[in-house]
Amino acid sequence: MPELGVNVDHVATLREARGGKEPDPVRAAVICEQAGCDSIVAHLREDRRHINDVDIRALKKAVRTRFNLEMSINAGIVEIAKRVRPDQATLVPEKRQELTTEGGLSVLKNANRIGRVVEGLRKKSIDVSIFIDPDEREIRAAKDIGAGVIEIHTGRYADAKTKKAMDSEFERIKRSCEFALSLGFIVNAGHGLNYANTKRVARIKDINELNIGHSIISRAAFAGLYRAVRDMKTLCR
Ligand code: PXP
């Protein structure tokens, strides 16, 4: 059974919609842990559109399971990560205009730079995972720079418009996981996973952890809405 990492970015997205203090992603992390998740994920984006520097310091203190900081390889962000020292860092590509991470980090194109970042973070005792596309060449390149953990990008599988496309993306993911496992990697997966498409990925043999955010926070809004209205109604009365 894979472990579950819950990404709390979109609790902060809701907070930023008003620029205030609630909802608090740290409080969300505590509830996720009480509910049995195995790690907490947060992405400190260069534009700070949701999670900010104060959040990651507070998450580092509050998280009891494992704090996995998603981050780009931007030098300023790497320095912050080294100071905060999360349990794990997941390296992702980042573009200012994107709504969310659009694909894996290309190790093939940035091997030297990523290699230096991996080494620098490891020296601070931070485990490093690299988010990559389900592509054998990328997996091999990650091996060549000495990475030990990868997260396979499941976004194209999740976004596939037809069953045929979805099946073919799933096969790519499965083959890539098997290949990465054969090279000795710890293999995680994530992006776009929801209540309809996760089971199939969770069944891939020896997959270590699934990282899921948007669908869980979306479901939480509806799962909690009834109670929230009842509580306000009581207060009005
Ligand atoms: N894994 C990585 C590397 C990501 O960048 C994201 C999005 O922040 C996720 C997992 C979670 O994706 P989603 O919010 O679509 O579940």
Structure confidence by residue, pLDDT tens digits, 153-164: 999 999 999 999
Q: pLDDT value at position 98?
A: 76
SS3 category, 43: strand
Which residue in 70, 94, 151, 169 is the catalytic one? 70
- Both tokens assigned to 231: 């509580």
Separation of alpha carbons 41 and 5, rounded Å: 6
Separation of alpha carbons 224 and 231, rounded Å: 11
Which residue in 94, 153, 191, 209 is the catalytic one? 191
The answer, yes or no, to whether any atom of ligand 1 lies below 6 A from the CB of 70, is yes
The answer, yes or no, to whether any atom of ligand 1 lies below 6 A from the CB of 43, is yes
Report how far ligand 1's centroid is from the alpha carbon of 100 (Å): 8
The answer, yes or no, to whether any atom of ligand 1 lies below 6 A from the CB of 104, is no
Q: At which residue do the structure tokens 């710890």 appear? A: 186
In this prediction, residue 95 has a pLDDT band, given cuts at 50, 70 and 90, of: confident
List of domains in the chain:
3-236 (3.20.20.70)
Q: Is the pLDDT of residue 103 over 90?
A: no
Q: pLDDT value at position 134?
A: 97
Q: pLDDT value at position 84?
A: 98
Nearest to 119 by CA among 109, 110, 128: 128
Phi, psi angles (nearest 5°) of residue 94: -145, 130
191 is catalytic: yes
- Enumerate residues 6+ apart whose C-beta is below 8 A from 4: 36, 37, 38, 39, 209, 210, 212
Q: Is the pLDDT of residue 102 over 80?
A: no
Structure confidence by residue, pLDDT tens digits, 24-61: 999 999 999 999 999 999 999 999 999 999 999 999 99
For range 73-86, the mean pLDDT: 97
Phi-psi category of 85—alpha, beta or left, where left has phi over 0 and alpha has psi -120 to 50? left
